[in-house]
Structure 1
Amino acid sequence: MSRPRLLVAHPGAELYGADRMLVESATALATRFDVTVALPGPGPLVAELEARGLRVELCPMPVLRNSALRPRGFLRLVADAVRGALPALRLLRAHPAGVYVSTLTLPSWPLLARLAGRRSVDHVHEAERSAPRLLRRGMALCPALSDRVVANSRFTLDTLAEVSPRPARRGAVVHNAVRAPEEVVPPRVALDGPVRLLYVGRLSPRKGPQVAVAALRDLLDRGVDASLTLLGSVFPGYEWFEAELRTTVAGAGLEERVTFAGFRADVWPHLADADVVLVPSVGDESFGNTAVEAVLAARPLVVSAHSGLREAVDGYPGVQAVVPGRPEAWADAVARVAADWPAARAAAVAAVAAARRRHTPERFTAELLAAVGVPAAAVPVPVAAPPFG
């Protein structure tokens, strides 16, 4: 018996956190539907989806970003909406089960779904309280027009409720699936040589790599031997920030201490090589996949004490949540880890089993299908201890 055809819409084709979550969502939905994923253009995400046996269609689509508040950005948004309307309608009509929209930055999809007589589900991954209110109201159109709303955290749902209470009231929270490494490499027994710090994520002001660099400088001034790897790249249009960051590193004489590693699809080797992971976001985070990956890799973790990051790491032993944007507080946290490394190491190892249970794809699949209105079959949740190398 053939499965109903479902369309999945996503605003990009890279392999950062939201893109990886799209892969997990589409894979989960494919257990009950015949899934096609619509993307605005080519990129590494295409191969990742096709490797899971999923069809991909390229379709122009308007994406709400900060640039839409400027005249040129608004004109581009309108142009993309006009150019993508007919291709989107054709895709919707070919998918009777409707459309699952993996973000609230794509309001045209639920609107077109209504015109095509199709059902729509909006999965909200954004929770930026600092964004301009006009932009937040524009983004709230997507859940407001959708038949069902799913949020990746309670913080995300509460943030949506501030500008759009009605869709938030009918929303369900499904925490992200985060796949664990096949083998967990335990932290090194002794901190011989520099404390190896790792930042994973976009190089952008709101993600806080500048805080990590400043914290490194503070540690060195205190006599703590340390180094920092920045694993990530800039979003197009933010090249100026990487240049500024490199200038800061050079001006502080940290070229031998800071490595700009660029984007890497496979983060696990870098986590295995790290001692302490820093997630120093100064802007709100809806959840915190990077933080969960650090826990799954058995690495001591320091996160900003706000938003969805706190929710993502709640209850894990040894995780430190500190004031965002204050390098001295981050240096203090790293210094505490280094001063009692055996305890920090043991706590990080102890947290792995709970993180694996909480973020299994099986649990995510069951909860996501229930949230979109498809009761899932009972799925056993693995509880076995993680395989340590």
Structure 2
Amino acid sequence: MRRKTVIQLLPALEAGGVERSTLEIAAALVARGDRAIVVSAGGRLLPALQALGAEHVTLEIGRKSPLVLRHLGALRKLLAQADIVHARSRLPAWMAWLALRGLRGARPHFVTTAHGLNSVSRYSAIMTRGERVICVSNTVKAYWLQHYPNADPARFTVIPRGIDPALFPHALHPDTEARARLAQQYSQLGGQGPLLLLPGRGTRLKGHADAITLLEGLRERGIDARLWMLGARQRGREAYLQELQQQLQGKGLQDYALLAEPTSTMPQAYAASDLVLQLSRKPEAFGRTVIEALSVGRPVLGWAHGGVGELLAELLPKGAIPAFDQEQLAAAAQALLASPPSLPQAQPYTLRAMQEATLMLYDTLES
């Protein structure tokens, strides 16, 4: 097979799902001998990208300013070398589209990925102009086709995100050693009752208030539950954290819940827990927490909307609760804790499957 040059475009290489997927595809391209180039403003993941053997071109193509257009000439010259141009964000997609229009002769194939449920606008519509539009879930595909009825459904394809199961190995339940280590470090997470884990950054959209209400409901039912809100404690979120602390104190729950900083050891965090929560107030495009937790062997309870609802309906229907119904949430949590359900034995959403499907899509365009 002829060596391909694939150029991926995104605003920057900071932390996030878009950035992670970019590196994962770059790794797969390099592994099979293709040339992988990423165009962005750079960021803390740049060394990791370069360590894979991929190339990076620094252009601020995600800067929302008229000055961004000054990069069109350099970008056009770069894209002329490509077989595939893959835009992963709206402004970089516009930049790529404008640059490609100015090319003479044969043009590279243009691919976009709809990573999220973006606002509906002419600006967002650029993501529907790819020869192929990759959607990270059926939820995302349905959303974009609903709001952009002139888009050609035949160009849309679903390639879900995935994880490396080796990084999220199955852990016996209960993992008493992991829980004991955690209790030694944080007294609020001790006791003999179940540990609820809500991973997520410190924003109201992640549903921390709903998790606190759930904790209150379980304790009122006589269950010595504890709540670990992992990732909520972040710089710049002090006012929100104070609000959550006041909510805990008002309910008398301050000794049974912990607002913690993010961790780099999520598999161990899942292993120490008994039930993982995914309570985002806004529908999410995918639901990585769901597949990570299930891979470790922990049930997940979440609102049945967006990509999270889609995954739970397929993998653990008992964990899918009508959005914002606190009574059903508490009842389902009690049932799952009393009788842990059987979980999928095989992980259907793997990193390898995502990489192979994406590279196959590239190959199909080139054939």
- TM-score bucket (shorter structure): 0.7 to 0.9
1:27 shift after superposition: 2.4
Letter in 1 for 2:165: A
Decide which structure has the larger Cα Rg and report it.
2
Greater CA drift, 149-158 or 312-321: 312-321
* TM-superposed deviation, 1:149: 1.0
Q: Distance in 2 between matches of 1:189 and 1:56?
A: 43
Any stretches of 5+ residues in structure 1 without a counterpart?
Answer: 64-76, 377-389
| Partner amino acid, structure 2, of 1:60 | E
1:99–1:113: 8 Å Cα contact kept in structure 2?
Answer: no
Letter of the aligned partner of 1:361 in structure 2?
A: L
Q: Secondary structure at the match of 2:123?
A: helix
- Does the 8 A contact of 2:61 with 2:91 survive in 1? no
CA distance in 2, matches of 1:360, 1:289: 11
Deviations 1:324-345 (A, max 9, x none): 22333322222112222xx43x
Change (3 A) 1:12 1:201: farther
Which structure 2 segments of 5+ residues have no match? 180-190
Cα contact 2:312–2:319 (8 A) shared by 1? no
User: Is the 1:6–1:99 contact (alpha carbons within 8 Å) kept by the matching residues of 2?
Assistant: yes
Is the CA contact (8 Å cut-off) linking 2:79 and 2:108 kept in structure 1? yes
Q: Does 1:294 align with 2:293?
A: yes
Q: Partners of 2:76 and 2:308 in 1: how far apart? A: 37
**Deviation at residue 170 of structure 1 after TM alignment:** 1.3
Q: Does 1:147 align with 2:131?
A: yes
* Aligned mate of 2:163, from 178, 198, 203: 178
- Matched with 1:335 is 334
- Separation (CA, whole Å) in 1 of partners of 2:302 and 2:23: 25
3-state SS of paired residue (1:259): strand
Aligned residues: 346
Distance 1:237 1:172, change over 3 A: farther
Go from structure 1 to structure 2 and tell me whether the alpha carbon gap of 1:148 and 1:112 turns closer, same or farther (over 3 Å shift): same
Separation in structure 2 between the aligned mates of residue 12 and residue 209 of structure 1, nearest angstrom: 29
Return 315-324 or 81-90, whichever deviates more: 81-90
- Cα offset for 1:198? 0.9
Matches of residues 242-261 of structure 1 in structure 2 within 5 Å? 242-261=241-260
AA aligned to 1:57 is V
1:381 aligned residue: none
Aligned mates of 2:318, 2:346 — CA distance in 1: 13
SS at match of 1:107: helix
Residue 305 (structure 1) shift: 0.9
Matched residue, 1:110: 97
Report the CA distance between 1:12 and its aligned residue.
4.0
- Taking the aligned partners of 2:162 and 2:321, their CA distance within structure 1 comes to 25
Q: Which residue of 1 aligns with 2:227?
A: 228
Following TM superposition, by how much is the alpha carbon of 1:312 offset from its aligned partner in structure 2, in angstroms?
A: 2.3
**Aligned residues of 1:300 and 1:319 also touching (Cα < 8 A):** no
Q: 1:257 to 1:234 in 2, by over 3 A?
A: closer
Assess, with a 3 A threshold, how the Cα gap between structure 1 residues 105 and 246 changes in structure 2: closer, same or farther: farther
SS of 2:314's equivalent in the other structure is coil
User: CA 1:124/1:262 → structure 2, altered by over 3 Å: closer, same or farther?
Assistant: same
TM-score by length of 2: 0.82
Q: Whole-Å Cα distance in 1 between the matches of residues 252 and 68 of structure 2?
A: 48
Give the Cα separation in 2 of the matches to 1:171 and 1:354: 27
Aligned-pair CA distance for 1:250: 4.1
Judged with a 3 Å threshold, the aligned counterparts in structure 2 of structure 1 residues 114 and 375 are, in CA distance, closer, same or farther, namely: closer
For residue 125 of structure 2, what is the amino acid of its counterpart? A
d(CA) in 2 for partners of 1:110, 1:290: 33
Q: Is the 8 A contact 1:286 1:308 kept in 2?
A: yes
1:354 pairs, out of 340, 346, 349, with 346
Q: CA RMSD in A?
A: 3.0
Residues 66-103 of structure 1 deviation map (CA, whole Å, 9 limit, x = unaligned): xxxxxxxxxxx22463354455345424x422421224
* One-letter identity of the residue aligned with 1:78: S
Between the aligned residues of both structures, percent identity stands at 23
In 1, Cα distance between the equivalents of 2:241 and 2:73?
38
Matching of residue 42 in structure 1 with residue 46 in structure 2: no
Deviation at 1:303, TM superposition (A): 1.9
Matched position secondary structure for 2:7: strand
- Going from structure 1 to structure 2, the CA distance change for 1:199 and 1:158 (only over 3 Å counts) comes to same
